[in-house]
Structure 1
Amino acid sequence: MKQLFRVNSQRMMKRLEQLAEIGRTAEGGVTREALTIEDHQAQMQVTKWMEEAGLTVYHDHFGNLIGRKNGNNRHAPAVMIGSHIDTVPNGGMFDGTVGVIAGIEIAQILKEAAVTHDHPLEVVAFLDEEGTRFSGGLFGSRGMVGKVSQEELWKTDEAGVSRLEAMRSFTLEPEKCGESVRGPGEVKVYLEMHIEQGPFLQAVNEPVGIVRGIAGPAWFTVKLRGEAGHAGTVPMSLRIDPVAGAAELIAKIEQICSQEAEAATVGTVGKIRAFPGGANVIAEEVQFSLDIRDTDLERRTARIEEVKAAAHAIAEKRGLQHELICHLVQPPVECAGHVIARMQEAAKSLGYAPPLMISGAGHDAMMMKEITDMGMIFVRCQDGISHNPKEWAEIEDISKGASILLETTLQYLAYQ
């Protein structure tokens, strides 16, 4: 395969830096949660870049930002490149965003070189991949493949604003979401580039990797309810304290998810709140998030059942009420063999030999697997740090990943 086109590293880095200024925090991170003012500003900027790249831009009813360039056969299934531009609170500037910027870069190269191709090209910035605001990630990609329920539209954020209200504030029409569901045969292949968010590529000293499978996430809210009381007057032996129960359960979750040293199970409590939240008050209720992931579905299911049993036992022992609310359960998925092979072929033609690897993080690609074949490219990130202001990826590595993505995309577009 002869390399005919080159990505513009300087242009990509300038756009990454410019987007990072939208939602910039005092700590140097980025906060750009879905359906916020910052998200709107970012989408408007990305819209401008998409249009400069020759794409026709629109939102579907789920809020996904889509840029499309028709091919010679506009009725043929589209080659889709996607990722997301929303962030976690005080996150980094590369997570997800590199994939969208790379997709726009590829479209711009096709425009500048006047490349013709058979299949349409679509570049997508999926809405609310992170899921931090409404406790349900991969919203836009789940919506695109018909995996969003009406109940999810009524989920509220910490300020009591529902997703439905937030979507309408973006001039979206969520009651028409069903019209935006894509079916099998509409997308020829889905390709995504993302920073690794882990230390593997740095450890093996490789700039990029090719993903062969994605671990399946399961997201829960755990609630423990006890009895509120005065911190100074209720004896320790008479307390029904959900905070103490939560502490015991969280420690047990760590034990459950660590019991097999070589297993890929990971369990994370990332958010915890006590109610009413007074410093001199024994809490009445505690809520905390729980994220359990594994590449092995049977093993993940077993760990979840162990957590449920532990919650029941601890609540019973302490006289607490307990509840586990499930927000998202996705099975592990495998990337398509032919996509992996084409990415390897493209990499070889460029002089790279990226290792095959597993993604522990969930991505929009795992949802697109519902309707088409998909593949992912990972870019090395410094010290494996992500979801953090220290998140960093070198533009040289990003450019290598984008070059592999470009060559792979050209093959699927059947360009001339």
Structure 2
Amino acid sequence: MTELVFTECRIGIQSRSWLKTAATYSEPGPGVTRVLGSAEHRALLPVLADWYREAGADAVWLDDAGNLVGRWEGSLLDARTLLIGSHQDTVRQGGAYDGIMGVLLPLAVLSEINRSGRRPATAVELVAFCDEEGTRFASTLIGSSAIAGNFNRDLLAVTDSDGVTLADALRALGSNPDQIDRVARQPEQVSGYVEVHIEQGPILEAENLPVGVVTAITGIERHRLTITGKAGHAGTTPMHLRKDALVRAARAVLVVDELCHSTDDLVGVVGQLDVTPGAVNVIPAEVTMSIELRSPDSAIRRRARLDLMERLAGALDGSGCQWKVETTYEQNEVRCAESVQWALAQAVEDAGYPVRRLFSGAGHDGLAMAHLTNIGMLFMRCKDGLSHHPDESVTTEDLEASGQVIRRFIESWPG
């Protein structure tokens, strides 16, 4: 990584200190595991609130969706509010930067602005969203969708593996999910939303750049493919008479991989594979597998879906096995607003860096926030492009560089 020289690196040093402490609020084991409503989440909240106050927040509160919010008033009392935020939760055995860095780095920036004695024109609210990953309840964007006003109240009844409902998990944080609708903001109150996030990819590192301006957040669709064959004794059933569901599933995995390799701006994965009965000496009778496709362009993704179905038919029809595909999730891509992209790009230039524009292949809270207001994102370089892994890593210099960009952005945002 490029070695950048700053006289003090105050923002980078402060944010790294907070990030190191936040990472200790984790379940035992490799990396960081902090899921919605867990003991670790509950313990971190008052610590975050204290940091907000130390950074000069005029008000700090936990809303009824489990989001921690701090507000810094602006010099123009009638200006709309700029929202900045990211999520507190992690995947299991994740890293110390995904999500929470987008809270603590802007917090260090706001602390520096407050320390200078100046106020930006617009009020700023920093939001630590309760859940983006969906690790515990398999429902992503809970906190941001509540603020954006498109939260599905049916999710409050969803249970985790222990039978605990989402509503009860929010109550454990100190929120009142019965009043979750009150969390929603009105578009006329908000001037925009910005999120800072590690890139989770290798482009910035490969191009030796500390930051990049995000153009779009990828669209995602997920499917469940079920292949049904016939179980039988693995030692007595002749090979030519078998209806082995796993053999057909292996071909389906290759279909997905080949499709994504041959289609520009498309990525995909088979991340789950469940085999029944799963015995060492029994021919697999049924396989259920996940298929995920992602693209920043809905037209590409939808064409790929049609192509996938044709290729699966070619690989599975006539095999003696039955198969079906169910769509389990679809989220269209979200374009970052040109006005926010321009302001971020100007801040990058003012901080002395080249402007690199790139799209995000991962989902973010901006997907929900786009229902409320114009959104933008700033990516920060991470080592080896690694994320969702204990070895996530960033430098203090890149934290400082990103912080300098965000400070310029906040101080120039018109409200």
1:48-59 map, 5 Å:
48-55=50-57, 56-59=59-62
2:63 matched to which residue of 1?
60
**Alpha-carbon spacing, 1:309–1:67, altered in 2? closer, same or farther (3 Å):** farther
Q: Supply the RMSD in Å over aligned alpha carbons.
A: 2.9
Q: What is residue 384 of structure 1 aligned with on the other side?
A: 385
**Residue 349 to residue 18, structure 1, CA distance change in 2 (3 Å):** same
For structure 2, the residue ranges without an aligned partner over 5 or more in a row are 1-5
Report SS of the residue matched to 1:89: coil
1:22 matched residue in structure 2: 25
The residue correspondences of 1:39-118 to structure 2 (distance < 5 A) are 39-55=41-57, 56-72=59-75, 76-118=79-121
Q: Distance in 1 between matches of 2:233 and 2:150?
A: 46
2:204 partner letter: L
Distance 1:163 1:240 in 2: 41
Give 1:254's aligned amino acid.
Answer: D
| Counterpart in the other structure of 1:200 | 203
Q: Is the 8 A contact 2:27 2:40 kept in 1?
A: no
Question: In terms of mean alpha carbon deviation, does 15-24 or 312-321 score higher?
Answer: 312-321
The farther-off stretch of 312-321 and 109-118 is 312-321
| Letter of the 1:289 counterpart | S
SS of corresponding position for 1:79: strand
Scaled by the length of structure 1, the TM-score of the pair is: 0.87
Q: Secondary structure of the equivalent of 1:90? A: coil
AA aligned opposite 1:184: P
For 1:409, the equivalent position in structure 2 comes to 410
1:350 pairs with 2:351: yes
Residue 360 of structure 2 corresponds to 359
Q: Work out whether residues 213 and 341 of structure 2, in 8 Å CA contact, stay in contact via their aligned partners in 1.
A: yes
Secondary structure of the residue aligned to 1:185 is helix
Residue aligning to 1:132: 135
Conservation of the 8 A alpha-carbon contact between 1:121 and 1:413: no
Give the 3 Å change call, closer, same or farther, for CA 178–235 of structure 1 in structure 2. farther
Partner AA of 2:412 in structure 1: Q
Percent pairwise identity: 33
Residue number among 160, 165, 169 corresponding to 1:166 in the alignment? 169
**1:75 deviation in Å?**
5.9
Aligned to 2:324: 322
Question: What is the distance in 2 between the residues matched to 1:322 and 1:154?
Answer: 29
Deviation at 1:225, TM superposition (A): 4.7
Kindly report which structure 2 residues correspond to 1:263-274, keeping only aligned pairs within 5 A, or say none: 263-274=264-275
Distance 2:46 2:225 in 1: 37
Equivalent-residue separation in structure 1 for 2:160 and 2:314 (angstroms): 31
When residues 311 and 103 of structure 1 are mapped into structure 2, their CA distance, relative to the original with a 3 A threshold, is: same
User: What SS does the aligned partner of 2:185 have?
Assistant: coil
TM-score (norm 2): 0.87
Note the alpha carbon deviations across 1:24-74, whole angstroms, 9 max, x for none. Answer: 6544x2122333222323333322212222332223332222222233555
Q: State the number of aligned residues.
A: 407
SS in 2 for 1:93: coil
1:276 CA drift (Å) = 5.3
Q: Which amino acid aligns with 1:99?
A: G
Which has the larger displacement, 212-221 or 374-383?
212-221
